[in-house]
């Protein structure tokens, strides 16, 4: 295993202010102590329902969110400090794609300027060189050359996400944090965008941190997966660990929530869903402590860890 980025005990707590003096009275524990390793050329999936802390984790890694504590180790250096990120060219090496391309791509700019922006920040190219680069980036995501002088609103959602991918790879990064990149798209278009992402990963040897609320979407993308709930990881493992041998009830719930296309198995799926819901209701205390907090992760195999009371031993 060759690691690209190691995240150690990352915490992001947002202060809640209230009262006449606007004092900090409490905190939202958006991310509350997560550890994981993103490997070179691999995809790490971060999955959980809305509000579990996925976006905050992603933004903390790219440096868009101030962290409360913890370390993000890149090339042997802790990049949680802005000065270190700058020195190491970290902002070039790590890029982000967002779910909502309509608001993340500047509507007043033409495609050529949108995609060239990271190039202008990090490289000195002549106009001609820049145009050639942008054209080849468009080609990589299957967009025609005449897209160059159009504006974001002239494209469909799927095309805009592909432009977002082109923009993210423009600076030749090592890691792309993709936050729900296909969640707003129709199923058929999702597959298309995911295929482009995969192809680009192979071509550039990129790593992805792929964020989704849907275990169905990440299935064919991810090598390793973390399941997140209330700012903590309830289970981490390889794709096989998570899909073939889920141990935490929350993981099982997410799995049972994957929409079934196969009509033949619909009844069995419904029955499984009912069983999982029942277990969820009756066995809460095996999975969360008295205050509802997720237990610490324990190793069950070399690759697979789960947050169960006493590590699952009774």
Ligand X SMILES: Nc1ncnc2c1ncn2[C@@H]1O[C@H](COP(=O)(O)OP(=O)(O)O)[C@@H](O)[C@H]1O
- In the complex, the residues that contact ligand X under the rule CB under 6 A are 14, 28, 30, 48, 50-56
In the complex, least distance from residue 104 CB atom to Mg ion, rounded to whole angstroms: 13
Residue 56 interacting entry, from ligand X, Mg ion, none, C-beta within 5 to 8 Å by type: ligand X
Are residues 190 and 221 in contact, defined by beta-carbon separation less than 8 angstroms? no
**Cβ proximity to Mg ion, 250 vs 295, nearer residue:** 250
The set of residues, in sequence order, having a beta carbon less than 8 Å from that of 291 and lying 6+ positions away, is: none
DSSP 8-state secondary structure symbol assigned to residue 288: B
In the structure encoding, which two tokens stand for residue 6, read together? 């190691």
Residue 190 interacting entry, from ligand X, Mg ion, none, C-beta within 5 to 8 Å by type: none
**Cβ proximity to ligand X, 48 vs 164, nearer residue:** 48
Q: Which stretch, 35-43, 50-58, 67-75, 138-146, contacts Mg ion (CB under 5 A)?
A: 50-58
Distance CA 95, CA 61 (A): 10
**Cβ proximity to ligand X, 66 vs 270, nearer residue:** 66
In the complex, least distance from residue 99 CB atom to Mg ion, rounded to whole angstroms: 7
Residue 221 interacting entry, from Mg ion, ligand X, none, C-beta within 5 to 8 Å by type: none
* Run of H or E including 37: strand 23-39
Distance CA 192, CA 182 (A): 10
Distance CA 65, CA 59 (A): 5
Are residues 213 and 47 in contact, defined by beta-carbon separation less than 8 angstroms? yes
**Cβ proximity to Mg ion, 30 vs 255, nearer residue:** 30
In the complex, least distance from residue 46 CB atom to Mg ion, rounded to whole angstroms: 10
Size of the site for Mg ion (CB under 5 A): 1
3-state secondary structure of 226: strand
Residue 63 interacting entry, from ligand X, Mg ion, none, C-beta within 5 to 8 Å by type: none
Distance CA 118, CA 12 (A): 27
**Cβ proximity to ligand X, 22 vs 50, nearer residue:** 50
In the complex, least distance from residue 211 CB atom to Mg ion, rounded to whole angstroms: 7
Q: Which of 31, 43, 45, 55 binds Mg ion (CB under 5 A)?
A: 55
In the complex, least distance from residue 144 CB atom to ligand X, rounded to whole angstroms: 33
**Cβ proximity to Mg ion, 14 vs 122, nearer residue:** 14
**Cβ proximity to ligand X, 17 vs 274, nearer residue:** 17
In the complex, least distance from residue 65 CB atom to ligand X, rounded to whole angstroms: 8
Distance CA 314, CA 310 (A): 7
**CB-count exposure of residue 8 (10 Å: 0-12, 13-18, 19+):** middle
Are residues 232 and 29 in contact, defined by beta-carbon separation less than 8 angstroms? no
């Amino acid at each position: 295993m060759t690691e690209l980025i190691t995240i150690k005990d990352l915490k992001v707590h947002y202060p809640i202010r209230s009262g006449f003096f606007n004092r900090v009275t409490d905190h939202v524990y958006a991310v509350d102590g997560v550890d994981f390793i993103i490997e070179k050329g691999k995809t790490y999936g971060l999955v959980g329902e809305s509000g579990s802390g996925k976006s905050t984790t992603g933004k903390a890694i790219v440096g868009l969110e101030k962290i409360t504590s913890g370390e993000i180790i890149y090339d042997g250096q802790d990049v949680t400090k802005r000065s270190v990120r700058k020195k190491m060219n970290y902002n070039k090496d790590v890029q982000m794609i967002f779910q909502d391309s309509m608001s993340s791509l500047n509507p007043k700019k033409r495609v050529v300027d949108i995609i060239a922006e990271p190039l202008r920040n990090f490289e000195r190219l002549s106009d001609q060189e820049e145009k050639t680069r942008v054209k080849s980036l468009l080609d990589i995501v299957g967009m025609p050359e005449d897209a160059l002088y159009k504006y974001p609103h002239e494209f469909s959602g799927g095309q805009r996400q592909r432009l977002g991918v082109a923009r993210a790879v423009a600076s030749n990064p090592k890691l792309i944090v993709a936050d729900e990149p296909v969640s707003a798209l129709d199923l058929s278009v999702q597959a298309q965008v995911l295929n482009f992402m995969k192809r680009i990963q192979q071509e550039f040897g990129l790593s992805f941190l792929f964020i989704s609320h849907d275990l169905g979407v990440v299935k064919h993308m991810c090598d390793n997966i973390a399941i997140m709930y209330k700012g903590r990881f309830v289970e981490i493992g390889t794709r096989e660990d998570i899909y073939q041998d889920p141990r935490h009830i929350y993981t099982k719930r997410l799995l049972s929530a994957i929409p079934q296309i196969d009509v033949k198995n619909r009844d069995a799926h419904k029955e499984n869903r009912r069983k999982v819901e029942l277990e969820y209701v009756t066995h809460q205390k095996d999975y969360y402590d008295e205050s509802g907090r997720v237990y610490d992760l324990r190793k069950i195999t070399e690759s697979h860890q789960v947050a169960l009371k006493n590590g699952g031993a009774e």
